[in-house]
Amino acid sequence: MREVHLDLAVIGGGPAGLAAALEARRQGLEKVAVIERDIELGGILQQCVHDGFGLHRFGRRMSGGQYAQAFIDEVEAGGIMTECRTMVLRVSGDKKIYAVSSHKGMTLYHCRAIILAMGCRERTRNQIFIYGARPSGVLTAGTVQRYINMEGYLPGKKAVILGSGDIGLIMARRMILEGMEVEGVYEVMAHPGGLTRNIVQCLEDYDIPLHLSTTVSQIHGQERLEGVSVARVDQQRRPVKESERYIPCDLLVLAVGLIPETELARGAGIKINPLSNGPEVDQDFATSVPGIFAAGNLVAVFDLVDYVSATGETAAKGAARYLENPKAAHPRAYRVNTGENVSLAVPQIVYEGQAAQDLSLFLRVKQPGPKAALICACAGRELSRKKERFVAPPEMLAAKVPAGTFIGADLLLEIKGE
Amino acid sequence: MRKVTVTCIVCPSSCRVSVREGGEGLEISGHQCRRGLEHARNEVKNPMRMLTATIAVTGADFNLLPVISSAEIPKKMLIPCLRTVYGLRVQAPVKEGSVILRDVCGTGVDILAARTITRAPAG
């Protein structure tokens, strides 16, 4: 078996992994590798041909491929080993990575530190309880995106979209532009799952109807999808039989949410946070296993690629600090607790001491509403307060612990109406 | 007189801004800030959009090359421009940012490669 010795292995060559590898080199780490299962770097950005990326980082509206290219060019300029077409099978708690590829066979990577950046996967029909026959023509939005934008196949002629997550909205527009028919978008919740700008620019611009509190109750067809039944749902989100109606279609697109890809993390014995469903991380994005860090959408689904890249850089700085003295004991740890109207927080752990620089805490709101204050408090003392004109669950927010603040107790994140 | 409602996308507030086109110009209400006012005015007078699409590429690992407009184009030109863009074909390798088509449909905007695509290894 091929064996490779590394200072840092980054698993996943998407936006989090690329930013992490580059930052690790800037921090002076010598042997850095990116391990990627696809045939090229870039991750899901490569199938995102739409624009809207990089506004924060590059100050212009780029498409996904352009955003990825900026990082790939820098990675390929040298100093970073890239291992594409390589599938990691197992990560052990003592930082060994077992991987396989068709051209190099099995490889064992001995790593001094690891950054996990595997992103997330999409919920499928099984996870939303669509029962019955398994005809072709029932695909997740990301799969449809890959077929249409990279492979050059149209997976149907007339589509129904279930779920109003951002990828579904973006694919609604793309399918129209590619000459397909999009009958409508159906969302079981009373609020849209995606960002308003996507509702406006992807649905309203093309007169695609959005039906809230409505779901797909049945799919029809044996070999190929022939149609779906949709029905309004009651308060308990159960379909109301009397409201059921049949729509002929040959494609059902599922845009029903993302789940962090945690198999490798679980295999390494890393603790998973029940609110984010990703590895629990501290302010350096270190996981519960020493020397293994996590970044990007694996930690929590961030929506904004700029945030994803930023967490990769934070994790790389953390890994560099760890490698200076792997045996160093952490100061006392405190929790970042979620208070009023907050559904999740990242990171979940902070350490006692004075914050050397501004510390970003990412959070998501439970209920939408106007005029809210985003408050970060420590032992009853307010550390920061940020006014938001409007908060909504699809939009990740960032609270701040200002540089110089002394952290000496658990933190509490709250969103209060004003 | 024409009356339209524009959902503002400048910030998450998502204001519903109504715009009335009367004898003496636009009457705009429902916005909470100047940027919302500007956005609603532009959406009614001259809405602009970025164009992103894919075109056929030969000799690469993938069949398609993503492309993007060098600037926003008038919304009403989006479909005519797309018709032209979908007819384009290129051969790998292509470098990100290279101009695939100059001045698409007289808009003054260029169509650029939105990624670098290398030649697929033979076999």
Q: What is the pLDDT of residues B10-41, one digit of tens each?
A: 877 788 899 998 777 888 999 988 999 999 99
With beta carbons less than 8 A apart as the criterion, state whether A384 and A377 touch: no
| Number of domains, chain A | 3
The count of structural domains within chain B is 2
The answer as to whether B104 is a domain residue is: yes
> Is residue B123 a part of any domain in this protein?
no
CA atoms within 13 A on the CB side of A7: 19
Residues in Cβ contact with A36 at an 8 Å cutoff, skipping those fewer than 6 apart: A12, A13, A17, A43, A82, A83, A84, A85, A86
CA atoms within 13 A on the CB side of A280: 17
The answer on A173 and A228 residing in a single domain is yes
pLDDT at residue number A127: 83
Q: Are A284 and A355 in the same domain?
A: no
Domain with A397, as residue range(s), is: 331-418
In this structure, the answer to whether residues B57 and B104 fall within a common structural domain is yes
Note whether A246 and A135 are same-domain residues.
yes
On whether both A58 and A91 belong to a single domain, the answer is yes
Measure A173 CA to nearest chain B CA, in Å. Answer: 11
Q: Closest residue of B to A372, CA-based?
A: B13
A404: alpha, beta or left? (left if phi > 0; alpha if psi -120 to 50) = left
Does the pTM surpass 0.90? The reply is yes
Give the model's pLDDT for residue A158. 98
Answer yes or no: is pLDDT of B122 > 80: no
The answer to whether residues B41 and B58 belong to one domain is no
* Boundary of a domain, candidates A229, A256, A283: A256
The answer to whether residue B121 sits within a structural domain is no
Chain B residues near residue A202 by CB distance under 8 angstroms: none
Predicted local distance difference test score (pLDDT) of residue B24: 76
| Minimal CA separation from B115 to chain A, in Å | 5
Kindly state whether residue B16 falls inside one of the protein's structural domains.
yes
CB contacts, 8 Å: B88 with chain A: none
Q: How far is the alpha carbon of B27 from chain A, nearest alpha carbon, in Å?
A: 22
Pair (B18, B63) in one structural domain? no
418 residues of chain A, pLDDT tens digit each: 999 999 999 999 999 999 999 999 999 999 999 999 999 999 999 999 999 898 888 988 899 999 999 999 999 998 999 999 999 999 999 999 999 999 999 999 999 999 999 999 999 988 887 888 899 999 999 999 999 999 999 999 999 999 999 999 999 999 999 999 999 999 999 989 998 889 999 999 999 999 999 999 999 999 999 999 999 999 999 999 999 999 999 999 999 999 999 999 999 999 999 999 999 999 999 999 999 999 999 999 988 899 999 999 999 999 999 999 999 888 999 999 999 999 999 999 999 999 888 999 999 999 888 889 999 999 889 999 999 888 888 889 999 899 999 999 999 999 998 7
A73 in the same domain as A46: yes
Q: Is B53 on the interface with A (CB under 8 A)?
A: yes
B57 and B107 co-located in one domain:
yes
Chain B CB contacts of A369 under 8 Å are: none
Edge-to-edge, what's the strand order for the sheet holding A214-220?
A214-220, A227-232, A245-248
| Yes or no, beta carbons of A65 and B114 under 8 Å apart | yes
Same domain, B11 and B59: no
B119 CB near a chain A CB, below 8 Å?
no
Residue of chain A with shortest Cα separation from B86? A178
From the candidates A55, A149, A397, which should be mutated to test the interface with B, based on the most B CB atoms within 10 A? A149
CB atoms B61 and A177 under 8 Å: no
Q: Do B116 and A73 touch (CB under 8 A)?
A: yes
Are B41 and B72 within one domain? no
Specify whether A186 is located in the same domain as A248: yes
| pLDDT over threshold 70, residue B8 | yes
Which residue in the set B12, B56, B114 is minimally distant from A392, CB to CB?
B12
Tell me whether residue B57 is in a domain.
yes
Chain B residue with Cα closest to A72: B116
Q: Is residue A14 located within the same domain as residue A53?
A: yes
A250-291 pLDDT, tens digit each: 999 999 999 999 999 999 999 999 999 999 999 999 999 999
Predicted local distance difference test score (pLDDT) of residue A386: 93
On average, the pLDDT of chain A sits at 95
Residue B120 lies in a domain: no
Asked if residue B118 is part of any domain, the answer here is no
Q: At which of A275, A293, A328 does a domain end?
A: A328
The total of other beta-carbon atoms located within 10 Å of residue A365's CB is: 23
**Residue pLDDT, tens place only, B63-87:** 999 999 999 999 999 999 999 999 9
**Chain B touched by A202 (CB under 8 Å):** no
This complex has an ipTM of: 0.91
Chain B residues 70-109 with CB within 8 Å of chain A: 75, 82, 96-97
Range of the domain at B33: 2-45
- How many angstroms separate the CA atoms of A15 and A74, rounded? 13
Pairing, β A397-401 against β A359-365:
antiparallel
* Residue B122 within any structural domain of the chain: no
Among A256, A283, A316, where does a domain finish? A256
Residue A347: asked if its preceding bond is cis (omega within 30°), the reply is yes
Asked whether residue B25 falls in the same domain as residue B59, the answer is no
- Domain CATH number, residue B79: 3.10.530.10
Which of A63, A199, A200 comes nearest B68 by C-beta?
A63
